[in-house]
Amino acid sequence: MPASNAEVFWLSLGGSLIPCLLWLRFFYRRDRHLPEPKGLIAKLFLIGAVPVAFVSGLLNTALSQVVGLAATAVIVAPLVEETFKYLGAKRGSRRHPAFDEPVDGMIYGVSVGLGFAAAETLDYLIAAYQGIDLWTGEADALCAGFECFAIVAVVRGIGSALVHALCAGIAGYSLSRRVLDGKGRATAMRGVLLAALFHSLWNGAGLLAGFGVLLVAAVVFRRRLRKALARSPHFDQELHAPE
């Protein structure tokens, strides 16, 4: 018996939220010094899921009518989405007293990125179950039902959600440089462009090549994370703390 629209929605909501929340927990625990307020993290997650996803979706749809679907997926969407994820993290954490360490901007970016990923995956999962190509709106006779839903849920939960988190976190390091070190807009632009580059490579690559891109992005993210943790004012205290 086919699932009702309500059942498909709730199934898709769970399939989109659960992996993103698990990734969020993983990244949240990387901040070993002073973990950020959970209320702030929830706020940033919602910023990514609602205004950032909504505005990015509108722009991507409008621009795809001008430049085409392929160019939108590989060039336009990465630039639009990484820019608005950065702005969402910046706006959501503005003047917050908890923003006092370099690693904080990375955690904020990750939170917005995973909120965005959850909203985007929700649309993809509903479309997958219904057998609809999300970009064209056309029926896909080769992929529909629960089997298609399960494949999309795994690929997006493991791959796409992590890409959104890593890319937004890389840009989030530039946010920390701006807020805490007083760096100029060029620093933010470089961070966003690097994030958009990895995002673009992921969108344009095949499945196996895409996971190669994911690995490189993870290495870059890890290096920035280690650098951010080392620059924390609590780093020396942690090194010399008694066992």
User: What is the span of the domain harbouring residue 50?
Assistant: 5-229
Under 8 Å between Cβ of 72 and 134: no
Considering its fold, how many domains does the chain have in total?
A: 1
Residue-level pLDDT at 145? 78
56, part of any domain: yes
Tell me if residue 37 falls in helix, strand or coil. Answer: coil
Max distance between CA atoms of the chain, in angstroms, equals 63
Tokens of 129: 């179950």
DSSP label at residue 132: B
Residue-level pLDDT at 179? 93
Can you name the residues that pair with 139 across neighbouring β-strands?
Answer: 132
Residue-level pLDDT at 33? 73
Residue-level pLDDT at 169? 97
Residue-level pLDDT at 155? 85
234, part of any domain: no
191, part of any domain: yes
Residue-level pLDDT at 90? 97
92, part of any domain: yes
Q: Which residues in the chain come in under a pLDDT of 50?
A: 236-243
239, part of any domain: no
Residue-level pLDDT at 134? 73
Residue-level pLDDT at 7? 84
Letter string b/e over residues 22-46, b meaning 16 or more CB atoms within 10 A of that residue's CB = ebbeebeebbeeeebeeebbebbbb
